[in-house]
Each structure stands twice: as C-alpha cells, then as structure tokens.
A = this chain, B = another copy of it.
Amino acid sequence: MSASNLPKKELFELPEGVIYLDGNSLGCLPKGVVDRASETIEREWGGQLIRAWNSADWISLPRRVGDRIARLVGAAEGSIATGDTLSIKVYQAVAAALKMRPGRKVVLSDSGNFPTDLYMVRGLLQTLDGGHELRTPEPEQVADSIDESVAAVLLTQVDYRTGRTHDMAEITRRAHEAGAVMIWDLAHSAGALPVDLAGCGTEFAVGCTYKYLNGGPGAPAFIYVRPDIVSGVEPALAGWMGHDAPFAMELFYRPAMSTERLRVGTPPIVQLAILDEALNVWEGVRLEDIRKASIELSELFIAEVERRCPQLTLASPRDAGKRGSQVSFAFENGYAAMQALIDRGVIGDFRAPNIMRFGLTPLYLDNGDIMSAAEVIEEVISEELYRDPKYNVRSRVT
C-alpha cells in the first residue's frame, strides 16, 4: 500500500477472525506491552519497591512520555504534561483560560463536541458561579460565532460521530483575532493525522492516548501549553506533582515553571509504562504517511459500502480533506446492525442516535481488511440480519 511501509501489523497482537474498525475508540494491543507491564510490576514495584521512583526513573516517566507524544502532534519538547483523564485536562485548560481573560464571560464550543467536554465546562461554570455562559452553535457556525465576548474557544478537531474536521489553523487565527484563548481537543487527532500545535499557535491542547495511540483502556491523558504562556497559567487543580518541588512538602503551592504545573496527583505508573511501550510502534512512522494511507483506506471503504449498501447514508464529509480517520454511516437500524457486524467479527461501534462508526487505523489495517469488512456489511444489510431480536438487546456500552 502506497510508498510508505504501512501497515505494521507485525507490531500488534491482533485477534484471529476479527477486522477491527474501532481503533478510534480503543486501539489494539502493541506487542511488548505485556512484558513491559510485567517488568514494571514485578521487577520495579515488586523488587525495588519505593526505590523504583529513582532506580526505575518512575519520577520522570510522565515527562518522558509527554515528550514522545509531543513529537506526534507538532509540539516542542517539554510542552506536554501527561496523567489524569481527558475530562480533567479539559477542566484545567478552560479554568486557566478563563483566568487569562477575566473580563470575558463566554466559553464557545460546538454542538458536535464530545459530551464530556461540554459537561466539564458546565460543571466548571456552575462551580465558578460568575455569570459565565457556554455557547454551542452548530460546528459550521463556530468560526463566525467568535466575538470579543468569548474568553475561550474549546473545540474537538475531529467530530467523534461524523469524523468532520475543523480547520485548526484558521479557527485558531479567528480566535486570536477576537482576543480569545484557543483550546483544541485532539482525542480523535493524535496519531490519526498530522497536527501542528506549535505552528497553529493554540494556547492549549488536550487529548487521550487510548485511541490512535494504543495506550490501553484508561490510558493517561495529556495537555499541551504553548511554552511562552506557561508562567502565566494558573493551575486550578494545584496538585503536589505540579509543584516546583513536590518533595519539599511546603505548605504553600509554587507551580513548576513548565507545563509540569498541570500535573496533579501521583502518576499512574503502570499505565504510563504501558503507554510508553505502546508508543514504540511510532518509531520511524511519519504522520503524513499515516494520513495518506488513512485516506486510501477510507475512500475504498466508502466506495465499497455505498456500492453494496444503498440503505446506508454517508454521515462523514465526502471530501477526504475534511474528514478525520473514521467513516460513519447513518442507518435507522444502526444499533442492531452494528451488533450483527460485531457478531461476525467486524468491529465498529454505534453512537446515538443512528451512527455506525468505523475507525481506520493504517498501522494495522490494509485494503484486504476493508474489502472483507465491506462484504460482511453487505451481508448484514442486504439480508437484514440485524432484524434478529438478539441484536436489539441494548448492552451498557456499545
């Protein structure tokens, strides 16, 4: 496939009989992770105990992992802190942004943003009780909705349902023109397409690592701060690991003079070690090649599914340049159809109300996988296999 050396299936533990089109929800298991976890648990924790903070260098692991993520999203060394969850990182970024624009009362997002981002903002605004407002216009209206009342613009670059992308450079420019602080959520961007954080000039970015970065279930999140503004960022979540000298046990908080000030509590060492190992698959991989391969896969997928299944309506932008690394179709019986697909080894997911979502991860998918998946989708849709009552039992997670 293409001129690049993708895919790299040999670097992953891929289950037999499965075509996995849900790497945008939980990435596959990279080889080496099981051994690395065992080493961290048995040799480091078990054998070194508390000494491992130094002897196994646990203490610098959050920063080292942050630097590896930085290289994948166009950020400078030292500009990304890791830990906590994406929800927490959203809260930190918005809280800091509001402190940077004390006279402004509006947080602008869009109605397509992932719900937890909006929940976290509303929770913050209710906590502040300072007359702030969250506005959520349609995604297409966001750029024109930025005015001088806006303190912060919080957007997810790639829509979790449709895959529609925002233009990071252009919207950041518009935010800055209006004097607003920009915050990008890279949940569906990091590891999926080239991102140029430094180039676009955004003040903050946040992201998770269990999707395209394959960090495993509940892997730590990350937050980026533009280096020139770090010293003015007030941490709302002023935890000891963001202190300039955590082990001095000072009664008063002095934030670290780097992005590390956005760390909070004791880092999740085992999950960080797993993520660190998982990031090895990116050695020698260029995001430009990932993007090119992703577009090839998605164009093929769209063509095949549309040809075979006229019942499904493309819910993603047809223009590949405006689409992330996923393809979504709207279908009235989408929930049941997805269960029927999963039952046949084609794993995507469903997002309410009617979206069948397929993630395309060029690290471990090739054209053959796409053709096989399209065949199964055709079978499920054309033979109406989704009408089997067993596929209409709603499980707790889809």
Q: Which residues of A contact B (CB under 8 A)?
A: 13, 15, 18, 20, 22, 25-26, 28-29, 33-34, 37-38, 41-42, 45-54, 58-59, 83-88, 91, 95, 99, 111, 114-116, 118-120, 122-124, 126-130, 136, 208, 210, 216-221, 234-241, 243, 247-253, 264-272, 274, 342, 347, 349, 351-352, 395-398
A268 to B265, CA, bound (A): 14
Shortest CB-to-CB span from A269 to chain B, Å, is 4
Give the residues in chain B near A269, CB-CB below 8 Å.
Answer: 216-218
Give the residues in chain B near A115, CB-CB below 8 Å.
Answer: 240, 243, 249-251, 253
> A265 contacts which of B53, B88, B241 (Cβ < 8 Å)?
B88
Give the residues in chain B near A130, CB-CB below 8 Å.
Answer: 129
> A116 contacts which of B22, B84, B240 (Cβ < 8 Å)?
B240
A45 to B45, CA, bound (A): 22
A215 to B398, CA, bound (A): 29
- Residue of B whose beta carbon sits closest to that of A98: B127
**Cβ–Cβ contact B352 & A249, under 8 A:** yes
Give the residues in chain B near A236, CB-CB below 8 Å.
Answer: 123-124, 126-127
- Residue of B whose beta carbon sits closest to that of A31: B46
Task: Across the A-B interface, give the 4 residue pairs with the lowest CB-CB distance, nearest first.
Answer: A85-B265, A123-B238, A29-B46, A116-B240
Give the residues in chain B near A219, CB-CB below 8 Å.
Answer: 268
Given contacts A38-B34, A266-B85, contact A119 B272 (CB under 8 A): no
Given contacts A86-B266, A128-B127, A266-B85, contact A347 B116 (CB under 8 A): no
Given contacts A22-B49, A119-B238, A240-B115, contact A85 B85 (CB under 8 A): no
Given contacts A111-B251, A118-B251, A249-B115, contact A88 B237 (CB under 8 A): yes
Give the residues in chain B near A29, CB-CB below 8 Å.
Answer: 41-42, 45-46
- Residue of B whose beta carbon sits closest to that of A52: B217
A116 to B235, CA, bound (A): 13
> A272 contacts which of B45, B218, B221, B398 (Cβ < 8 Å)?
B218
**Cβ–Cβ contact B45 & A253, under 8 A:** no
A379 to B388, CA, bound (A): 76
A264 to B208, CA, bound (A): 14
**Cβ–Cβ contact B85 & A54, under 8 A:** no
- Residue of B whose beta carbon sits closest to that of A136: B251
**Cβ–Cβ contact B268 & A54, under 8 A:** no
Shortest CB-to-CB span from A312 to chain B, Å, is 20
**Cβ–Cβ contact A210 & B49, under 8 A:** no
Give the residues in chain B near A270, CB-CB below 8 Å.
Answer: 37, 216-218, 270-271, 274
**Cβ–Cβ contact B240 & A87, under 8 A:** yes
A208 to B128, CA, bound (A): 27
Shortest CB-to-CB span from A55 to chain B, Å, is 10
**Cβ–Cβ contact B217 & A264, under 8 A:** no
Give the residues in chain B near A351, CB-CB below 8 Å.
Answer: 249
